[in-house]
């Protein structure tokens, strides 16, 4: 009582003492509530500052100068971790804010994006009692509220038991009849075609090495060694190779393709360490100009980066090839080219821009900045005409882009005269100068893109598999890697679910799909 009394209670007449005490109690309660609100306000200020910091980090990862120095995968990882932190802060803020002060907002989730074909498990939650509080009887149902949440059940393993009854006649001994055993990709083996497809997709799409898949299976009580899984992958790669070969034939009939190469580390048993192999990507993507041919990519493994590998892969192709500035491709443009006529090359403006960006980020060069501003104008026009027909794109480029390219060429020569070719910037300008003819190819063909980003996006999955698997165990493993990755990447770029496609394709092959109908097995012809 004494802490409620800032005055001498004995000096107050007894008739008024109770009223004064009530006022003092109310005043003390208000002080305690004020103190609580001040504490909560301070906590919220700390949360807001942390949230502002995280949002600034997100903006910097998205738009800041450092974002270009991160790979796409590193940026995605940064986004994920920052978004997790933001969600944590928002949840903490919601918990610390009373429902009276601010109603809890609905979670920012894809509430309307639960596919209709997903199985639904209904759980009806009934009240504890249906008796009317006034005692007039049992209540009647007048409606309902429904909410849907996504549930996940870990991968379910099952055993397919094939039973083939035998039949015989009781009256004679003419023999026994029985249905023939269904065809399997691995005769007498353990896996179904669906199990093999799952291993392929897990390794080459979800980037799970076989030893990790073995560990995951073991957690479900199924002990399958990594070497057994490798046998499944090798068998599938062999049976799928004709499909990949046919895919490559289709691509090389096109008038324009992309090409790029990426490292594929391979174990070298003789030296006890890895050597550098390469997966060469040959891709078609005509969606930028509304072409009729479906997109696709074939990865071909080669033990080195020599230009003769590209020459071998491109046998039978005569057209325009869009690529970066690697000198190994130069032999493709010469009359001495083996396997076809000299090809037309289209070089990549994204690579040219990247060279200037490297200098600008390091030195803040105003000359590099000017080059970047000029190239940005080319890209602005390209974004406006993307998806138009090839003739419309060609017309727009000749009218709008060609004068800008000519001005850039004059600017480039002026800068090269002023800057030492041995300087960092001079080297970058010389790089652009050497490719100047190929950088203008897109001005003369509406089918050609301004850069080779399409193929770079397709080979990103190779980089992820390489990062997780570390290396292929042998050159032959590199070949299998390329074949299976080709079908998975082509399926994805055609909006085909890779597991469903591979499962159906392996089942068809096991059942003796005719060789003269192999086109039916190409990813873009898959019908679920």
Q: Is 293 exposed, middle or buried (0-12, 13-18, 19+ CB in 10 A)?
A: middle
For residue range 417-460, list pLDDT tens digits in order.
Answer: 999 988 999 999 999 999 999 999 999 999 999 999 888 887 77
Reduced to 3 states (helix: H, G, I; strand: E, B; else coil), residue 106 is: coil
Q: Are 75 and 61 in contact (CB under 8 A)?
A: yes
Q: Are 324 and 349 in contact (CB under 8 A)?
A: no
Q: Residue 382: name the closest of 428, 352, 358, 349 by CA.
A: 349
Q: How many CB atoms lie within 10 A of CB 17?
A: 13
d(CA 192, CA 222): 15
Identify the pLDDT of residue 274: 65
* Tokens 């005569």, located at residue: 318
d(CA 454, CA 442): 15
d(CA 201, CA 130): 52
Identify the pLDDT of residue 60: 63
**216 CA to centre of own chain:** 23
Q: List the beta bridge partners of residue 260.
A: 281
For residue range 179-199, list pLDDT tens digits in order.
Answer: 888 888 888 888 999 999 999
Parallel, antiparallel or unpaired: strands 166-168 and 296-302: unpaired
Residue spans of alpha helices (H) in 419-494: 424-434, 436-439, 453-458, 460-469, 475-493
Identify the pLDDT of residue 17: 66
Identify the pLDDT of residue 469: 46
Given a cut of 50, the residues of the chain with pLDDT beneath it are 1-2, 4-5, 66-69, 98-100, 104-112, 468-473
d(CA 470, CA 483): 18
Q: Are 523 and 496 in contact (CB under 8 A)?
A: yes
Q: Residue 510: name the closest of 43, 79, 191 by CA.
A: 191
Q: Are 387 and 398 in contact (CB under 8 A)?
A: no
Parallel, antiparallel or unpaired: strands 273-284 and 296-302: antiparallel
d(CA 220, CA 494): 34
Q: How many CB atoms lie within 10 A of CB 265?
A: 16
Q: Over the Cα atoms of the chain, what is R_g?
A: 34
* Tokens 């709008």, located at residue: 400
């Amino acid at each position: 009582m004494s802490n409620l009394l800032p005055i001498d209670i004995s000096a107050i007449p007894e008739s008024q003492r109770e009223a004064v005490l009530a006022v003092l109690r109310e005043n003390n309660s208000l002080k305690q509530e004020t103190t609580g609100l001040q504490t909560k306000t301070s906590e919220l200020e700390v949360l807001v500052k942390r949230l502002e910091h995280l949002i600034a980090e997100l903006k910097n990862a998205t738009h800041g100068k450092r974002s270009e120095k991160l790979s796409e995968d590193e940026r995605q990882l940064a986004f994920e971790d920052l978004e997790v932190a933001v969600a944590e802060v928002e949840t903490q803020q919601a918990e610390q804010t009373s429902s009276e002060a601010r109603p809890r907002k609905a979670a920012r989730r894809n509430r309307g994006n639960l596919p209709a074909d997903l199985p639904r498990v209904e759980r009806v939650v009934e009240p504890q009692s249906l008796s009317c509080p006034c005692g007039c009887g049992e209540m009647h149902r007048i409606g309902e509220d429904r909410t849907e949440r996504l549930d996940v059940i870990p991968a379910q393993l099952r055993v397919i038991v094939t039973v083939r009854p035998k039949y015989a006649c009781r009256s004679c001994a003419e023999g026994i009849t029985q249905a023939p055993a269904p065809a399997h990709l691995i005769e007498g083996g353990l896996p179904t075609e669906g199990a093999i497809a799952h291993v392929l997709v897990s390794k080459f799409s979800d980037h799970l090495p076989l030893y990790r898949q073995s560990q995951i299976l073991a957690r479900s009580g199924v002990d399958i060694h990594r070497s057994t899984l490798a046998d499944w992958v090798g068998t599938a790669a062999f049976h799928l190779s004709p499909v990949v070969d046919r895919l490559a034939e289709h691509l090389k009939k096109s008038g324009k393709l992309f090409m790029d190469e990426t490292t594929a580390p391979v174990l070298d048993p003789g030296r006890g360490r890895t050597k550098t192999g390469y997966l060469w990507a040959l891709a078609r993507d005509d969606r930028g100009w509304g072409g009729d041919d479906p997109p696709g990519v074939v990865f071909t493994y080669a033990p080195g980066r020599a230009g003769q590998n590209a020459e071998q892969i491109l046998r039978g192709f005569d057209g325009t090839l869009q690529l970066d500035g690697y000198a190994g491709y130069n032999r493709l443009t010469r009359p001495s080219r083996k396997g076809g006529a000299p090809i037309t090359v289209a070089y990549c403006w994204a690579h040219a821009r990247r060279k200037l960006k490297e200098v600008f980020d390091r030195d803040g060069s105003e000359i590099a900045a000017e080059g970047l501003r000029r190239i940005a104008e080319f890209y602005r026009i390209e974004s406006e005409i993307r998806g138009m027909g090839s003739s419309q794109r060609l017309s727009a480029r000749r009218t709008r882009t060609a004068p800008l390219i000519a001005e850039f060429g004059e600017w480039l020569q002026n800068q090269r005269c002023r800057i030492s070719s041995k300087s960092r910037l001079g080297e970058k300008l010389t790089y652009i100068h050497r490719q100047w003819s190929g950088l203008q190819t897109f001005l003369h063909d509406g089918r050609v893109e301004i850069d080779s980003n399409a193929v770079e996006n397709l080979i990103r999955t190779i980089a992820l598999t390489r990062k997780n698997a570390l290396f292929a165990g042998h050159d032959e493993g590199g070949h299998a890697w390329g074949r299976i990755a080709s079908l998975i990447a082509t399926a994805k770029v055609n909006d085909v679910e890779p597991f469903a496609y591979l499962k159906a394709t392996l089942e068809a092959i096991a059942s003796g799909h005719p060789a003269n109908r192999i086109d039916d097995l190409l990813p873009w012809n898959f019908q679920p």
